Structure 1
């Protein structure tokens, strides 16, 4: 197997509100896997965890043609499968009927509840007229995202809090790019599948020790409390991420700050002890959720292609190589 990445001439980095560039100026997150003739090529496409409507017009026809001509479309996880969603939900729950109020330090629990109460209060103001026109209600949306939060493991609550921003709420109700492609593949009668199992994504997150989880949850709350107070602004926003994706920019600096993924804890203001903890968490996640994951996924992609040399495959994986789906709607 030989892997070729074709990138078209670099376009100017356009803000997401401008019209799409001409096809000849567009970049593509499409890799072509060439096999010995007469076997057909297969494709690896980098996705992004944002509403597909924000990026679809910027994805060049070459990538869309590759998707259409592939009879098999594979993802990290099969998010159209109810069993996958059920397993993700179960993996996030505390064991033995425990709840966060008895598990977390009292002050941390109170801050968490206060922040979620704030989000619930703001939800009606954050929602768009279009969402309301489609029958979405603020209480329903809050419960869909944060319902049963007291029964969840702290690490998953941390991820949930990190995604409960005004932008995230306003984008709910539109499929993210990965899910849109999965739905399109099913509608077109393609064979769909996944190269990962739920536990392979879920267990590494549950593998952090308790003190590391408390640190991560506390840091996440501090960041969001700072934003609420107007004293803190995130370095990279989802709008930045969309802009760079639409420009075909593979910058790891941007994609490592994908807001659907893990918060970034390392910063120069942390005391030495906390900085060490942050670096340990970052190193653990890089090892478990990037390096080991990529190697495992690559082995499975290779095995699929070798077992089915006459079939064309389209693999759609996160462009940042550290995508995590929290299973929240």
Structure 2
């Protein structure tokens, strides 16, 4: 029943209405059936769809990659304490060993190999900053590995928005998400990486049960828990290091890290995202919007919703089963009638590229020649980086103007219905040429110079033709045939 489903949809009262929708970074197939029809209808009805980051801007992808890397010439082995580096390498070796056993038959059926999957997630790890290695280690669990190959919810919505030729954009820039993660001091980074490794080493030994798992996140989301603290960890992308087993001085460090990330990755971002939502609404009063951000940005204290309400916008939660765009949402928020907010950096709109999925419904990934684009980490930054790399592989081509590759030419020769000249044959896929009859006749009719008699060979093999005499006509015949094949059909 629709009324029993979750609802992470909020409506901003204006004409046309705008919507806020909370996502989580898990495979969309795990949650789609629990999302009400009115949330999906709001997405369909909106002409513009905005995300945290621009999923299609090439700068986003290159910026994310460079942000994660150590300064030029530095290596992780040079910056980490020797014992910590050894433990990290030992853990990654264990992951690489276990990866083939963790993968599902469905993943193998899609052409995913363990080595490729490991390189897609952990490739170049020795060049990354320690804080990004920490996030990477958290994503290398059996549960998360088994979910690779299906787009996460927000990425799926981005693909659908492109396919439907909606305007897409972002309310944040790369450095605004990336730099706070690089802002921890080195001692805090070492503490975080060490604690992360300790947790995973204990999980391997069976002496610890994970306090926070992807399955927990999915359960809270599907049950519609609007007060779950767990969504903040999904939003801030970092684990919670606070626990009672730490000695007092380490508890202080854990508290400092938690406060820093809560302030930088949640509260400050909520303020910035809320202001940019307001700017878009005031500058585009006649357009409908669908803003899809991590659910943690709408839950708890100092949320994006709080920022909008404090500015005078009327934002109401939209329960499942309530029709969208009804009379209660056609009024315009008073804040839209006021002066525009302070000018903000422009939010770029991406060029629209149709995608392959035919409808906004869960579906099996279609078999493609290229590898699956969705080998994504739980944190959005890694998702976008992988998504951007895949975008380059799906450039639209015109069917009637496709460039013919050299190998393609030989395949077409073999499969062609064109009647080949009698002097050209294909044997086992190879092109062979026999001198045509008219060449042979001309050669027979040419006067031969007087030569001393030579002893005839006793072999019954036919005498070979003089090569110089056939070179030019033969080359002309082959060239003419190949040029005919290259003519556009």
1:306 aligns with 2:306: no
Which residue of the partner structure matches residue 118 of structure 2?
A: 142
Q: Distance in 2 between matches of 1:256 and 1:288?
A: 12
**Aligned with residue 105 of structure 1, among 76, 81, 88:** 81
Asked whether the equivalents of residues 5 and 35 of structure 2 are also in contact (C-alpha less than 8 Å), the reply is: yes
Inter-CA distance 222–100: structure 2 relative to 1 (3 Å threshold): same
| 3-state secondary structure, aligned to 1:44 | strand
Which residue of the partner structure matches residue 24 of structure 1?
A: 3
Which residue of the partner structure matches residue 263 of structure 2?
A: 287
Asked whether the equivalents of residues 16 and 286 of structure 2 are also in contact (C-alpha less than 8 Å), the reply is: yes
| 3-state secondary structure, aligned to 2:382 | coil
1:157 aligns with 2:133: yes
TM-score w.r.t. the length of structure 2 is: 0.61
Inter-CA distance 216–102: structure 2 relative to 1 (3 Å threshold): same
**Aligned with residue 250 of structure 1, among 219, 222, 226:** 226
1:325 aligns with 2:304: no
1:212 aligns with 2:153: no
Shift of 1:259: 9.3
Which residue of the partner structure matches residue 272 of structure 1?
A: 248
Which residue of the partner structure matches residue 82 of structure 1?
A: 58
Larger displacement relative to structure 2 (23-32 or 196-205): 23-32
| 3-state secondary structure, aligned to 1:320 | helix
Which residue of the partner structure matches residue 68 of structure 2?
A: 92
**Aligned with residue 37 of structure 2, among 51, 61, 66:** 61
Q: Distance in 2 between matches of 1:80 and 1:303?
A: 22
Which residue of the partner structure matches residue 46 of structure 2?
A: 70
| 3-state secondary structure, aligned to 2:20 | strand
Q: Distance in 2 between matches of 1:142 and 1:308?
A: 44
Q: Distance in 2 between matches of 1:46 and 1:136?
A: 30
Asked whether the equivalents of residues 236 and 266 of structure 2 are also in contact (C-alpha less than 8 Å), the reply is: no
Per-residue CA deviations over 1:232-265 (Å, capped at 9, x if unaligned) read 1112321111111011112332223439821110
Q: Which runs of 4+ in 1 moved over 6 A?
A: none
Which residue of the partner structure matches residue 165 of structure 2?
A: 189
Inter-CA distance 257–234: structure 2 relative to 1 (3 Å threshold): farther
Inter-CA distance 144–324: structure 2 relative to 1 (3 Å threshold): closer
**Aligned with residue 262 of structure 1, among 238, 255, 265:** 238
Asked whether the equivalents of residues 155 and 217 of structure 1 are also in contact (C-alpha less than 8 Å), the reply is: yes
Counterpart mapping for 1:165-204 below 5 A: 165-204=141-180
Q: Distance in 2 between matches of 1:85 and 1:171?
A: 22
| 3-state secondary structure, aligned to 1:74 | strand
TM-score w.r.t. the length of structure 1 is: 0.90
Asked whether the equivalents of residues 85 and 327 of structure 1 are also in contact (C-alpha less than 8 Å), the reply is: no
Q: Distance in 2 between matches of 1:308 and 1:211?
A: 46
Inter-CA distance 46–162: structure 2 relative to 1 (3 Å threshold): same
Which residue of the partner structure matches residue 273 of structure 2?
A: 297
Q: Distance in 1 between matches of 2:87 and 2:381?
A: 22
**Aligned with residue 221 of structure 1, among 185, 188, 197:** 197
Report the structure number with the largest CA radius of gyration. Answer: 2
Inter-CA distance 118–326: structure 2 relative to 1 (3 Å threshold): farther
1:46 aligns with 2:22: yes
Which residue of the partner structure matches residue 99 of structure 2?
A: 123
Per-residue CA deviations over 1:38-85 (Å, capped at 9, x if unaligned) read x21100000000000101111100000000000000000122333312
Shift of 1:324: 4.5
**Structure 1 stretches lacking a partner, 5+ long:** 1-21
Asked whether the equivalents of residues 260 and 325 of structure 1 are also in contact (C-alpha less than 8 Å), the reply is: no
- RMSD (Å), alpha carbons: 1.5
| 3-state secondary structure, aligned to 1:283 | helix
Per-residue CA deviations over 1:292-322 (Å, capped at 9, x if unaligned) read 1000000000010011111000000000239
Shift of 1:27: 2.1
